[in-house]
Amino acid sequence: MKRIVIVVEESTGVIARISRVLADNDINIETLDADSHGAHGLIVLSTDQSDEALRVLRRESFKAVIDDALIIQLRDEPGALARVAERLSNAGIRIRSIHILSRRGNYSTVALSVDDRAKARELITENIIA
């Protein structure tokens, strides 16, 4: 799953600006996660047109990059995430970002960005859905 990561200066209306830029270019936001860290914010989103979304966001002077995340499915139970995180950690794989995308029934869908995608795929292949 290609995600767009945007680093912004914390300000009123930044989500409105980003969503308007994408809407004006007929790009649909599929997932969105935003956090603020002091004077800065971090916005992670996925769209139906990731390359075009990146292009228009950069054209509007947003600091944006594409991140290719693994999409995994975990049982929605205590310890499920810990088991995956520990397996990656024990193999020396650093988790750069993680976002719970949805929780349905007995399962959670999670976007996971790591520093060694190929090695992570081998270690957690039974959890990967995309």
| Domain CATH for 117 | 3.30.70.260
Residue-level pLDDT at 121: 94
Q: What is the pLDDT of residue 27?
A: 98
- Say if residue 76 is in the same domain as residue 62: no
- Mean pLDDT over the full length of the chain: 91
Whichever domain contains 23, its CATH number is 3.30.2130.10
Helices 50-59 & 14-24 angle (0-180, nearest 10)? 120
Q: Could you give the strand order of the β-sheet that contains 107-114, starting from the edge strand earlier in sequence? A: 70-75, 107-114, 95-104
Mean pLDDT of 27-32: 95
Q: What is the pLDDT of residue 130?
A: 66
Domain termination residue (choose one: 41, 68, 95): 68
Lowest mean pLDDT among 9-13, 57-61, 76-80, 89-93: 9-13
Confidence of residue 118 (pLDDT cuts 50, 70, 90): very high
What's the pTM? 0.69
- 6 and 58 share one domain: yes
Q: What percentage of the chain carries pLDDT values higher than 70?
A: 98
Give the residue from 115, 83, 110, 120 showing the smallest Cα distance to 96: 115
Residues 59 and 15 in one domain: yes
**113 or 101: which carries more pLDDT confidence?**
113
Number of folded domains that form the chain: 2
Residue that finishes a domain, picked among 68, 91, 115 = 68
Q: Mean of the pLDDT values across residues 80-88? A: 97
